[in-house]
């Protein structure tokens, strides 16, 4: 999950937040709804939720299981877990009701039932609860109902699902890689690795949408540790910047000379842009930063 987070930090025009080992359902809920509500002022075209952790399937519902959840008494303890239906409902209430946003959920977790069922045939189908959900949403689970998701080999460091998503030349963060085609390729790749992924509504993703534009290569992360759960920090001090802002009917550009004495001004300018309105200005205008 952290590698996915860092990939978004590198991508121009993207903001990312990271939660490591949330202990309870309320912690996940508060953080997610806070992010969604902050985005109301400047909604993105696409919101992607990536979950890598423990999950279970109960009837027709997928549940995210926080670290401190204790499911000793089975279904009676499900209130400690977070249903994916609730996530969809908050996405609709807190963001999609304010703007046309495509919501993509990537669930890299098991879907074994509380009753111990490990194959789809063991489940008795029930009607899923009717909840509000985004008009344009794309749910993607790394395995099928009742199956266990592979953690992958320790030598690789990623699950098979994450490994395909992060593939250097064809993955989600490869320059010019179209997200729709990437997810299709990941689904096919998971079948080849012995899992049966579930991918729905892929038509809701713009076929030309790329996380990383082929022309605008992302910067490398600085040597300093990125703060967990915060928008990306300022870049390391370069010697040259050229900012270009393009809006309908408007072209604004300014240039800072290749002079060492301007380093502090460059750093302060970059930080000011990232800090303005919690990154909303950057998301809205998406300046192009060229580093020499």
The predicted model scores a pTM of 0.65
Q: Quick one: the chain helix, strand, coil %, rounded to 5?
A: 35, 20, 50
E strands in 85-239: 102-108, 137-141, 198-199
User: CB–CB of 2/225 below 8 Å?
Assistant: no
pLDDT of residue 263: 56
What CATH architecture does domain 2-204 belong to? 3-Layer(aba) Sandwich (3.40)
Picking from 46-50, 161-165, 167-171, 228-232, which range would have the lowest pLDDT averaged per residue? 228-232
pLDDT of residue 21: 84
Q: How large is the average pLDDT for residues 92-108?
A: 91
> For residue 138, which phi and psi values (nearest 5 degrees)?
-130, 95
Q: How large is the average pLDDT for residues 184-210?
A: 89
Tens digits of per-residue pLDDT, 271-283? Answer: 777 776 777 766 6
Q: Residue ranges of the domains in the chain?
A: 2-204, 241-291
Rounded Cα distance, 283 and 19, in Å: 21
Band (247; pLDDT cuts 50, 70, 90): very low
Looking up tokens 């985005």 gives 39
pLDDT of residue 150: 58
pLDDT at 251 over 80: no
Q: Hey, what are 6's tokens?
A: 């860092």
pLDDT at 211 over 70: yes
């Amino acid at each position: 999950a952290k590698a996915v987070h860092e990939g978004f930090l590198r991508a121009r025009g993207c903001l990312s937040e990271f939660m490591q080992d949330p202990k309870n359902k309320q912690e996940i809920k508060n953080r997610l709804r806070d992010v969604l509500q902050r985005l109301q002022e400047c909604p993105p075209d696409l919101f992607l939720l990536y979950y890598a952790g423990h999950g279970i399937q109960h009837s027709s519902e997928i549940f995210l299981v926080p670290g401190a959840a204790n499911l000793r008494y089975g279904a009676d303890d499900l209130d400690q877990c977070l249903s994916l239906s609730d996530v969809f409902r908050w996405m609709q209430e807190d963001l999609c009701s304010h703007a046309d946003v495509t919501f993509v959920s990537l669930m890299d977790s098991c879907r074994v039932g509380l009753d111990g069922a490990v194959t789809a045939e063991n489940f008795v189908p029930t009607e899923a609860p009717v909840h509000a959900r985004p008009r344009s949403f794309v749910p993607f689970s790394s395995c099928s109902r009742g199956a266990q998701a592979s953690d992958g080999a320790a030598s690789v460091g990623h699950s098979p699902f994450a490994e395909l998503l992060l593939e250097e030349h064809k993955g989600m963060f490869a320059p010019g890689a179209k997200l729709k085609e990437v997810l299709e390729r990941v689904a096919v790749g998971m079948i080849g690795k012995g899992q049966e992924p579930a991918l729905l509504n892929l038509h809701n993703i713009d076929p030309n949408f790329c996380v990383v534009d082929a022309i605008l290569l992302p910067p490398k992360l600085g040597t300093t540790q990125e703060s967990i759960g915060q928008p990306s920090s300022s870049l390391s001090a370069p010697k040259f910047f050229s900012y270009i802002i393009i809006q309908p009917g408007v072209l604004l550009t300014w240039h800072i000379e290749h002079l060492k004495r301007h380093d502090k001004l460059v750093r302060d300018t970059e930080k000011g842009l990232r800090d303005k309105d919690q990154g909303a200005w950057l998301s809205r205008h998406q300046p192009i930063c060229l580093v020499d």
